[in-house]
Structure 1
């Protein structure tokens, strides 16, 4: 019965030997519960997700056994670029029922299954993964898009090739599982291997720490495009508390009025301003997971350069929060462009998630 916390993975830099390897999907981790006509979609943090994906509920009823619990990932495939679209997936979390129904038609979601927790009256969590995987392949043998079963291999060489190739379709790395491992909710017993790269970025602003207005919460990063425009690409957010306060003091001489800043956008975005006049670096940016969260920022003169570690890009932004590596006083901010970024090899997602 829901809720069940999903089994988690710990990071590792190298692909370990003697494991079962799967692509790491970039979507919403979800555990699906079906009992006849009743379907419940549980999230990683145990929030019910069912109401946001009505089209997926119907697809699950059409493709899953009558009584089953399956672990997997909700994804949205962008057919134009043949890759995953996480931003479109985020848009699906909306409080208005009319909006939910509209987006269900415009950007329908799919489900990639990768583990089987229960089948009928049988609890499979104490069974080895090799048994759970074999049963998963059996119960989804006739499944049709948008329900898929994730590829898996025990070939280490093939896994290394997947790690490189699949990134071009928007996948997030690899997951390695012990073939003998049991399913352990909320335990980090799997391994995740993600891409790591660095980029020299311009520090264009900051947000204060949530509980201390004189400490840095995050640094806002920018890169120049080929027109010379400074684009927002992401944030760095992890510093010790003492360093957050030091940074706040160090950055004050660089604070500038928004009118003198490259991210002083057109008047139509004034609705995104706070009372102090600060604006979000993604114009009408908002948080669908935390309504009311203040995403305004303090603008800085774009003079500082920082080297940031990131895993991969989604469009023109870092997919996840970047990590601080070092300051780069030797770099000219104008030289911090998108050209320095490594581009993943193109890969057609349809090769592993065939369309309907």
Structure 2
């Protein structure tokens, strides 16, 4: 591994925009509904790091196995996705992410993962983050071209008209929107310099728990695309409480977990990731996640 790049790796972030940026040297990439994942090929094997810093190689043994073909010192940034019925399935990704070692092998056969790599942070002993995106992208494509799926570079274009066409057509296969990146910028972990254009203000999220009684849940604990850190929704209204109570009656408690606690100290009852909801987030600095409606079982 690079002598300077060690886990946990701080990933670059994106800020939401209302229109596709033009007029600069931009690269445009589709934004898939999946989990952010850093792949680190070390001398000892492979590490898979979620955005939160948690190591998740046990949950994705198929990706860890494929990543052994990478040269030692390679560090990739990208998104892990699962395709079902010709489109990305975020609930399936969450099932994979929550699986322990005992169940992970079976799920890898049932719901094989793909990795859409969108950046190359290191190779050999060289830290590439200071290089402009254009050079990192070229090195990424050259590195992954001989390997093929499940490790592959995310599609990219520098033509804004092509990007607009992608934005209009790829929604049907589960693409959340587009990410625009300056061709001449380095990779800056922890900073929101990329720009993300979504199809709408609402997003799908997977329910992983709830607070309050099962018969009248107060809030939901959710996982959003691109992240693995659970967030707590705003207070549910009476109608949603009734709908979700009915759905939760069909969902058993997650095995051998009991009560869990989020990073902000909220204690909740976990459930298997079988329910999806549509949510809306307001504010950027301290977002409030509002549940709009129940999507239903996956």
Which of 267, 290, 294 is 2:269 aligned to? 294
Specify which structure has the higher proportion of strand: 2
Is 1:13 the equivalent of 2:13? no
The aligned counterpart of 2:287 is none
Which of 75, 83, 86 is 1:82 aligned to? 86
Post-superposition shift, 1:46?
0.4
Is 1:280 the equivalent of 2:248? yes
Using the alignment, how far apart are the partners of 2:112 and 2:8 within structure 1?
25
Using the alignment, how far apart are the partners of 1:163 and 1:51 within structure 2?
34
| 8 Å Cα contact 1:237/1:322 also seen in 2 | no
Aligned Cα RMSD in Å? 3.7
The aligned counterpart of 1:153 is 157
The aligned counterpart of 1:308 is none
| 8 Å Cα contact 1:9/1:188 also seen in 2 | yes
Please, what TM-score do these two structures have when normalized by structure 1? 0.61
The aligned counterpart of 1:102 is 106
Higher Cα Rg, which structure: 1
| 8 Å Cα contact 1:27/1:75 also seen in 2 | yes
Post-superposition shift, 1:148?
1.2
Q: Runs of 4+ in structure 1 displaced over 6 angstroms?
A: 287-290
Q: What do the CA deviations read for 1:171-218 (whole angstroms, capped 9, x no partner)?
A: 1100000111111111111011111167xxxxxxx966xxxxxxx657
Using the alignment, how far apart are the partners of 2:240 and 2:119 within structure 1?
50
Using the alignment, how far apart are the partners of 1:288 and 1:127 within structure 2?
46
| 8 Å Cα contact 1:72/1:112 also seen in 2 | yes
Aligned positions, number: 249
Unaligned runs of 5+ in 1: 199-205, 209-215, 219-235, 239-243, 266-278, 297-314, 325-335, 339-356
Matches for 1:254-333 after TM superposition, within 5 Å: 265=246, 280=248, 283-284=251-252, 292=260, 293-294=268-269, 317-319=276-278, 321-323=279-281
Unaligned runs of 5+ in 2: 1-5, 203-209, 213-217, 221-231, 261-267, 283-292
Using the alignment, how far apart are the partners of 2:258 and 2:13 within structure 1?
23
| 8 Å Cα contact 1:16/1:176 also seen in 2 | yes
Using the alignment, how far apart are the partners of 1:183 and 1:287 within structure 2?
40
SS in 2 for 1:322: strand
